[in-house]
């Protein structure tokens, strides 16, 4: 016991020179050191009070622990040395700390150091970190870590490409039908079937019609008569009757040359094209109006595409169009917009557009699916920004302007056309300004967070909170 008392006296003697003192803690002794050069406590205002045993507990005002011991004050000049358990974010004592914010970005602040439920230290916010001009300031290290990139605003032509699906259809002006205008009988049909390509004047069938035979005999009787005057006028009327019965012009010419009325009349193809429909059968009876052949010229076809209602303002008659088919990969067909139909489909909210396409090799067939790419490019350059630089929430469009020295300003803009990876800016930016093109969502989140924290700070009381209001690990 004497040896232990002697050692204790020696330690106490040395401790006095260093400004340390010992206190009993149950059956063991604890030591606490105070800097001998510290100014008197009465001349300084403590920043906060900490647990006397160094536990991670703090208080904004004087407080006692569960054993009745006073919390120790921490001052500006000794917080780093006397409080090794204090969060590292508070080591900068050269600037005034406004408050501490939640490390996960939640709208929660504290006037004193604090830990969140996960044990993470709250982050100090210093005076001067926030500015009132709406800009966000980031350190060079944070800019490098987040990969922030900026690009100057320039004037450039906006290439807007409208894409729309469609189908190939026949040119309505290039379709012909062969129908009888009087009761007839099909005597013979040529070797022509559906899908056969025919030439104009190619024989298709032979028809017997009593009405045609009667008109032909009457016409021959008038043209072989020697009588003049009224008979000549009657002959012209007989010829017109044959024309009204749709007798081919070549048949009438052969009658005038041979002066013989044919028993059957040969019907020929009225144009070059493809036989789309063949209803004529040998021996059948054809009533007036029955369609026996349908022939279409497909050397020129239509592409009918459905353009979305939102794109109607970008298209106009005469614009060039590139057509790609699903049947010929890598091949394109070019044409121009001929007609924009004046009606919007109420179910699909699309308008039909007609593009005329040359089809010399008959590659484009009716009802074939196609994809149209309408070029609406305007040669006049406009102020444009990359499309990834715009923060679009639906009701608000904004960009982050790079002000230099790590400062970024959120700015609302009015946008125009989009295309080619760029968006037209009609209002809000000037030529030569730089906008953030990468990591802009992170900066925008930082801006929103700072605005929220600023609102909390302004609403917080300016006087220190009462003792025990904000204690690490406690919520009272």
Query: 341 versus 35: which is more confidently predicted?
Result: 341
Assess whether pLDDT exceeds 70 at residue 119. Answer: yes
Q: What is the pLDDT of residue 233?
A: 52
Q: What is the pLDDT of residue 475?
A: 42
In total, the chain counts a number of residues equal to 476
Scanning the structure block, which residue is given the tokens 């008659």?
317
Give the dihedral sign, CA 408/410/412/413.
positive
Scanning the structure block, which residue is given the tokens 């800009």?
135
Q: What is the pLDDT of residue 218?
A: 87
Query: 120 versus 84: which is more confidently predicted?
Result: 120
Assess whether pLDDT exceeds 90 at residue 341. Answer: yes
Q: How far is the C-alpha of 363 from the C-alpha of 68, rounded, in Å?
A: 97
| pLDDT tens sequence across 1-31 | 444 444 344 334 334 333 344 444 444 444 4
Q: Residue 166 corresponds to which tokens in the numbers above?
A: 């469609």
Domains and CATH numbers, the chain: 1-33 (no CATH), 36-133+450-476 (no CATH), 149-156+380-438 (2.40.420.20), 161-170+298-375 (2.40.30.170), 181-276 (no CATH)
Banded model confidence at residue 134, pLDDT cuts 50, 70, 90: low
Q: What is the pLDDT of residue 231?
A: 47
Q: What is the pLDDT of residue 300?
A: 95
Query: 61 versus 141: which is more confidently predicted?
Result: 61
Q: How far is the C-alpha of 314 from the C-alpha of 343, rounded, in Å?
A: 16
Q: What is the pLDDT of residue 339?
A: 95
| pLDDT tens sequence across 238-247 | 888 898 998 9
Residue range 54-78: average pLDDT?
78
What's the chain look like in SS3? CHHHHHHHHHHHHHHHHHCEEEEEECCEEEEEECCCCCCCHHHCCCCEEECCCCCCCEECCCCECCCCCECEEECCCCHHHHCCCCCHHHCCCCCCEEEEECCCCCCCEECCCCECCCCCECEEEECCCCCCCCCEECCHHHHHHHCCEEEECEEECCCCEEEEEEEEEECHHHEEEEECCCCEEEEEECCCCCCCEECCCCEEEEEECHHHHHHHHHHHHHHCCCCCCHHHHHHHHHHHHHHHCCCCHHHHHHHHHHCCCCCCEEEECCCCEEEEEECCCCCCEECCCCEEEEEECCCEEEEEEEEEHHHHHHCCCCCEEEEEECCCCCCEEEEEEEEEEEEECCCCCEEEEEEEEECCCCCCCCCCEEEEEEECCCCCCEEEEEHHHCEECCCCEEEEEEEECCEEEEEECEEEEEECCEEEEEECCCCCCEEEEECHHHHHHHHHHHHHHHHHHHHCCCCCCCCCCCECCECC
Q: How far is the C-alpha of 375 from the C-alpha of 385, rounded, in Å?
A: 20
Banded model confidence at residue 329, pLDDT cuts 50, 70, 90: confident
Assess whether pLDDT exceeds 70 at residue 349. Answer: yes
Q: What is the pLDDT of residue 346?
A: 93
Q: What residues pair up with 340 in beta bridges, in sequence order?
A: 353
Residue range 306-324: average pLDDT?
91
Q: What is the pLDDT of residue 473?
A: 40
Q: How far is the C-alpha of 416 from the C-alpha of 418, rounded, in Å?
A: 7
Q: How far is the C-alpha of 287 from the C-alpha of 184, rounded, in Å?
A: 6
Average per-residue pLDDT for the chain: 77
Of 170, 163, 174, 166, give the one whose Cα is nearest residue 304.
166
Assess whether pLDDT exceeds 80 at residue 338. Answer: yes
Q: What is the pLDDT of residue 267?
A: 92
Residue range 393-404: average pLDDT?
82
Neighbours of 471 (CB within 10 A): 21
Residue range 120-141: average pLDDT?
68
Q: What is the pLDDT of residue 42?
A: 53
Q: What is the pLDDT of residue 13?
A: 38
Residue range 405-423: average pLDDT?
82
């Amino acid at each position: 016991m004497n040896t232990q008392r002697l050692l204790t006296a020696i330690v106490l003697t040395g401790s006095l020179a260093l400004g340390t003192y010992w206190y009993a803690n149950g059956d063991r002794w604890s030591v606490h050191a105070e800097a001998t050069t510290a100014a008197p406590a009465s001349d300084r205002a403590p920043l906060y009070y900490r647990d006397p045993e160094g536990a991670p507990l703090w208080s904004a005002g004087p407080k006692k622990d569960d054993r009745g011991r006073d919390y120790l004050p921490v001052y500006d000049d000794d917080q780093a040395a006397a409080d090794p358990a204090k969060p590292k974010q508070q080591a900068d004592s050269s600037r005034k700390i406004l408050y501490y914010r939640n490390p996960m970005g939640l709208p929660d602040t504290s006037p004193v150091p604090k830990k969140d439920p996960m044990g993470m230290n709250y982050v100090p916010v210093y005076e001067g970190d926030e500015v009132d001009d709406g800009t966000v300031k980031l350190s060079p290290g944070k800019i490098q870590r987040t990969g922030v990139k900026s690009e100057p605003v320039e004037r450039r032509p906006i290439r807007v490409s409208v894409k729309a699906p469609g189908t190939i259809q026949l040119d309505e002006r290039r379709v012909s039908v062969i129908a009888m205008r009087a009761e007839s009988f099909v005597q013979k049909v040529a070797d022509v079937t559906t899908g056969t390509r025919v030439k104009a004047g190619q024989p298709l069938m032979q028809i017997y019609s009593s009405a045609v035979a009667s008109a032909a005999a009457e016409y021959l009787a008038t043209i072989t008569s020697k009588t003049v005057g009224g008979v000549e006028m009657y002959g012209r009327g007989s010829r017109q009757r044959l024309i009204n019965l749709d007798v081919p012009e070549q048949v009438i010419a052969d009658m005038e040359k041979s002066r013989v009325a044919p028993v059957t009349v040969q019907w020929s193809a009225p144009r070059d094209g493809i036989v789309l429909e063949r209803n004529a059968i040998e021996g059948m009876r054809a009533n007036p109006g029955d369609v026996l052949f349908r022939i279409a010229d497909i050397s020129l076809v239509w592409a009918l595409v459905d353009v979305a209602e939102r794109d109607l303002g970008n298209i106009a008659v005469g614009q060039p169009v590139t057509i790609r088919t699903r049947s010929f990969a890598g091949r394109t067909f070019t044409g121009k917009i001929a007609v924009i139909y004046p009606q919007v489909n109420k179910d699909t909210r699309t308008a039909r557009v007609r593009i005329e396409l040359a089809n010399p090799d008959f590659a484009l067939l009716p009802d074939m699916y196609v994809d149209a790419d309408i070029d609406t490019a305007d040669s006049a350059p406009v102020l444009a920004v990359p499309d990834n630089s715009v923060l679009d929430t639906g009701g608000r469009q904004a960009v982050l302007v790079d002000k230099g020295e790590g400062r970024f300003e959120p700015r609302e803009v009015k946008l125009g056309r989009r295309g080619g990876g760029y968006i037209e800016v009609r209002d809000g930016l000037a030529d030569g300004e730089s906008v953030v093109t990468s990591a802009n969502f992170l900066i925008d989140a930082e801006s929103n967070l700072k605005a929220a924290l600023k609102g909390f700070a302004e609403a917080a009381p300016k006087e220190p909170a009462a003792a025990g209001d904000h204690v690490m690990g406690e919520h009272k």
